[in-house]
Amino acid sequence: MSGDNKVAPVIIKRKKVVSGDGHHGGAWKVAYADFVTAMMAFFLLMWLLNATTEKQRKGIADYFSPTVALARVSGGGDGPLGGDSVFAENVLPRMGTGSTSLRPMADNREKGSFSKGESSDQDTQTEVFEQAEDMLMGRGGESMVADELMKHIFTEVTDEGLVVELFETQEAPLFKGEAEPTQLLRDLAIVLVRAAQIVTNPIAIEGHTAAYPVVLAKNPSWDVSGMRATAFRELLFKANLPEQRVQRVTSHADREPREANTMDLRNSRIEVVFLRRQLE
């Protein structure tokens, strides 16, 4: 037993091993999650811009716009502002965003901003344009145009107004020779006069032609498009359209083709634009 006391004690050291902090302790995961969230929000925004209409986007923008009650009259005090409220229309800083809807200013209109009354008038005109467009194209189940005439009509509502395009085909031209109207164009003129009874806006008439072969010594497209626009204006007058309704007659020659092939017959057309009324 005494021999056992001479044996040196066995000492076991347990060394605590500390592993690495795992790429800065996982903070990169938070940054990566923020990046993924931001990318998801960006692609969601791009999808919304592509999937919504102009009116819907305006509604979304109005929803997030701050609303502050603005006073048009004096605050009634005698302080440094002379009794004016800092939110009064005549004191409110002008940042080029237009006037208030209660008292529009002419210089704000020049910046392209509309007051509530002006915007409402523009919307009303657009609704009338769309109603006339539906009747011309028979989209509502009721059309003022026969099927054989409807094949030669294309309508579009733009910022300028309601554009009614009359185009010819190989089988049914609008003109004989350079500027002699066919019976088809005479019938289309009657249709346009009927539409002018619904849409009372002023009218612009524009003549277009397909490109002529370059081998010609002189390009007649300017003269021909001008003569055709003038001939159609006379047809409208004969169909009892008041002369004061026509604001302008324009010759575009072959400068604004509808088809990539400038010599395509589809580019020969008459455009009638019911112009938007601009408020003074």
Shared-domain flag, residues 99 and 183 = no
Binned at pLDDT 50, 70 and 90, residue 167 comes out as very high
> What residue numbers bound the domain in which 96 lies?
83-113
Do 218 and 267 share a structural domain?
Answer: yes
Residues 135, 229, single domain; the answer is yes
- Find the mean pLDDT for residues 215-219: 82
- Residue 236 pLDDT exceeds 80: yes
Tell whether 95 and 168 lie within a shared domain: no
* Domain-terminating residue out of 113, 135, 159: 113
Backbone region of residue 25 per phi and psi (left: phi > 0; alpha: psi in -120 to 50; beta: other values):
left
Q: What is the pLDDT of residue 228?
A: 95
Q: Is residue 250 part of a domain?
A: yes
In angstroms, what is the C-alpha Rg of the chain?
A: 36
Percent over 90 (pLDDT), the chain: 37
What pLDDT, on the 0 to 100 scale, is given for residue 90? 47
Taking the CB of residue 105, how many other CB atoms lie within 10 A of it? 16
Are 221 and 254 in contact, with CB atoms under 8 Å apart?
Answer: yes
pLDDT value, residue 41: 92
State which of 70, 92, 113 marks the end of a domain: 113
Give the torsion sign (CA, 145, 146, 147, 153): negative
Q: Is residue 128 part of a domain?
A: yes
236 and 103 within one domain: no
The CATH number linked to 144 is: 3.30.1330.60
pLDDT at 106 (0 to 100): 46
Check whether residue 130 and residue 159 sit in a common domain: yes
Q: How many domains does the chain have?
A: 2
Greater confidence, 233 or 52?
Answer: 233
Residue 167, CB-side half-sphere exposure with 13 Å CA sphere: 18
Residues 95, 141 share a domain: no
Q: What share of the chain is helix, strand, coil (3-state, %, to 5)?
A: 40, 10, 45
pTM of the model: 0.56
